[in-house]
A = this chain, B = another copy of it.
Amino acid sequence: MIDDIGARAKAAARQLATTSSAKKSAALRAMAAAVDLDRARILAANDRDMAAGADEGISDALMDRLLLNDGRIDGIVSGLNKVADLPDPVGVHTGGWKLYNGVRVQRTRVPLGVVAVIYEARPNVTADAGGLCVKAGNAAILRGSSYAYSSNAAIGEVMRQALEREGLNPDAVQIFPDTTRDGARALMQAKGYVDLLVPRGGPGLIAAIEAEATVPFVIDGAGNCHVYVDAEADLEKAAAITFNSKVQRPGVCNAAETLVVHAAVADKFLPGIAIQLMEAGVELRGDEKARNLVGDMKQAVEEDWGTEYHDLIMSVKVVDSLDEAIEHVRTYGTGHTEAIVTEDYSAAQQFVEEIDSAVTMVNASTRFTDGEEFGFGAEIGISTQKLHVRGPMGLEALTTERYILYGDGQIR
């Protein structure tokens, strides 16, 4: 099965690679219109998934992720139209020069080819990911959760019909039919077919890919993000940034998990922010020095410093110096995002120089590590690896580069 799907994807990718920007955008808009028009069919398929989910007694949270309604369909439609409007990353010349012998070198951005996406229960990812892949000139193989299979199949079929009406190969979007673990593994190991595997899921999926994938992948890994409040911090900014980084959306990877506070301002800063956080439902787990300043703080254990809570929990550490703060972050951080709050120029510079995370921030919330916030228009994920792409991934992450050399008979 993987051979058939892989070969179809390669054929579609070959066509898409030389399809004009205008035609790709038109296809995206046609997909959006088709999802809009065929929403009854998609919602009916979603009803079947929801009914099956209810029969199986899946959790309310999972049921909510699974659910499609008119509002969510509207979101899919506007998402596809927005991607249609984004600038095409393909065909951009990213460099060029003349060699000593007159040969002209041109470096140009091209699609990767076939992109596989493995994701969990949200059916909107089918349209989002499929749209982004097509926009960047890639064929998509989409493998969602078994719980969402009817919804995904319906969305996929609607997108494929739109592609066909636009004169494009419908295999540019394929829904992978095997939603078992074996199916996921087949996709992870589809060497020769899959040029990039993008996982959109939790630590279990990431671990499986790291252990089993033989195709190239980008990892959207854990974010154990830190906010460091320096001795010279503006404490109002520090409170706003700490609160926002922790509370605005605690379940995402760019939320802060640890607050590190310089001892010089701990007594002025910690009691106030602790009340604010606790009133917002945040459980605080601190070291001895922090607990001496805030009464009802739990004792942090070693494990806390390395934990991405994904929840309204925050560990709190008091340090005696910027160096100690940097050391703590380097020891326990996951290389995602760290922020310093300070008015001290040299402290800010030292922090951004010595912390080697995908993103370091001075006086800004960790929540800004995000493709939309960065202005990429859309986000495929946030890479915590160092190869290929790092930090928020926009359309460019779905492309590669190649060289074209123009000569006139030159030889070595």
Contact = CB atoms under 8 A, between A and B. Distances in A.
Interface in A164-214: 195-196, 210, 214
Contact of A196 (B100, B113, B373, B387): B387
Interface in A347-389: 352-354, 356-365, 367-369, 373-375, 385-388
A359 B110 CA distance: 12
Contacts of A406: 362-364
A411 B99 contact: no
Given A353-B18, A357-B402, A407 B113 contact: no
Contact of A365 (B218, B352, B367, B412): B412
A375 B412 contact: no
Interface string A303-331: 00000000000000000000000000010
B248 A375 contact: no
Contact of A368 (B103, B358, B388): B103
A4 interface: no
A388 B387 contact: yes
**Most chain B Cβ neighbours within 10 Å, of A214, A375, A403, A408:** A403
A237 interface: yes
Nearest to A353: B18
Given A356-B402, A362-B407, A368 B113 contact: no
Nearest to A211: B214
A391 interface: yes
Contacts of A214: 210
A1 interface: no
A364 B374 CA distance: 41
A409 B361 CA distance: 10
**Most chain B Cβ neighbours within 10 Å, of A353, A390, A407:** A407
A22 interface: no
Contacts of A364: 103, 405-411
Contact of A388 (B369, B388, B403): B388
A218 B237 CA distance: 43
Contacts of A61: none
Contact of A113 (B100, B358, B386): B386
Interface of A: 14, 17-18, 97, 99-100, 103, 105, 110, 112-113, 195-196, 210, 214, 216, 218, 234, 236-237, 240-241, 243-245, 248, 330, 352-354, 356-365, 367-369, 373-375, 385-388, 390-391, 400-412
14 contacts: A18-B353, A236-B409, A241-B411, A244-B411, A248-B412, A358-B403, A359-B405, A360-B404, A362-B406, A363-B406, A367-B412, A368-B405, A368-B407, A391-B402
Given A363-B407, A363-B408, A368-B412, 20 more contacts: A14-B330, A18-B354, A99-B368, A99-B374, A216-B385, A240-B409, A244-B412, A358-B402, A358-B403, A359-B403, A360-B405, A361-B404, A362-B404, A364-B408, A364-B410, A365-B407, A365-B410, A367-B411, A386-B400, A387-B388
